[in-house]
Amino acid sequence: IIPDVGIVALRQAGAEAAVNPIIVSTDADTTFPTFWLEKLLRHFSDPNVVAVGGPIMSSTPGTMKDIYAEGLSASASTGLFSGANMAFRRDALLKAGGYVKVRRAEDWALATRLRGQGRIVYDPEAYVYTDVPFNRQLEFAALAANAGLLSIGFATRSPGSLGLSSGFFLSSLGTVIDQVPDGLHHSQVAVAGLGLISFFRGAMKPYTYRFLSGLLAGVLGHHFITEDIFDPIWGRINGPLFAGVTLLLAST
């Protein structure tokens, strides 16, 4: 037992302790057909195959649950496998550097880096059933809202609005794959960027300045909501700052 560690460290420890050449990954809330392992493992008869993944289906009915599961399956079909349904060669994992320390989506990060070790295969017959918790359904709804916000930015063609919506939307996509050192908030980077472009404002065209300001404000706003809102210190700083920058952009 390894106390007080996250899922990434536990997956890495399990991979390092494994003695078999093929590691299969799934989740505690996932169930699978009796033929699931056979479907996954058959592809490893090809020595060039380093990873195999399959689709995800919701174990309980529900519109948002089904849509979320379909989104995971669509991602898996492009090679971004879910940790609930994937298998890979242990030596390929270790050569790729193992599980990287990311805030989330360590499975996507691993699948991306395994591409450099050989072939990855998506098998639509190797499906599993998983529970889609409520917080995951909320994340999907937020992503859809972000897409709508981006559409508004394009429709208005205002540089500030376009930048704000782009920053908010891209942040919602970026955090699932990026690597962030411990103790560093995305919003801290955004604040530093706002300070930097303010310093060089005189060297920029007005449109560029307003777009970049909006972009960084969007990043700041997204991560204030997802990371900092419960932080007793940083949250008090970023909340008013995000509101102030947004009002400033709206007035220009």
Q: By mean pLDDT, which of 33-37, 99-103, 175-179 is the weakest?
A: 175-179
Side chain identity at 250, as an amino acid letter? A
pLDDT class for 176, splitting at 50, 70, 90?
very low
Q: What is the mean pLDDT of the chain?
A: 76
| Nearest to 32, CA basis, from 46, 8, 53, 13 | 53
How is residue 223 annotated by DSSP? H
Instruction: Give tens-digit pLDDT for 118-149.
Output: 999 999 999 999 886 654 545 555 566 666 66
Identify the pLDDT of residue 177. 42
More confident residue, 52 or 175: 52
Instruction: Give tens-digit pLDDT for 179-188.
Output: 445 455 666 7
Instruction: Give tens-digit pLDDT for 13-57.
Output: 888 889 899 999 988 889 999 999 999 999 999 999 999 999 998
Regarding pTM above 0.75, the answer is no
Q: By mean pLDDT, which of 7-11, 115-119, 150-154, 199-203 is the weakest?
A: 150-154
Where are the domain boundaries for CATH 3.90.550.10 in the chain? 7-132
Q: By mean pLDDT, which of 60-64, 139-143, 212-216 is the weakest?
A: 139-143
pLDDT class for 241, splitting at 50, 70, 90?
low
CATH number for domain 7-132, candidates 3.40.50.620, 1.10.10.10, 3.90.550.10, 2.60.120.380 = 3.90.550.10
**What percent of the chain lies above the pLDDT cut of 70?**
63
DSSP assignments along 61-122, one per residue: --HHHHHHHHHHHHHHHTT---TTSEEEEHHHHHHTTSS---SS-HHHHHHHHHGGGSEEEE
Identify the pLDDT of residue 68. 72
Please state, in angstroms and rounded to a whole number, the distance separating the CA atoms of residues 70 and 55.
8
Please state, in angstroms and rounded to a whole number, the distance separating the CA atoms of residues 234 and 41.
47
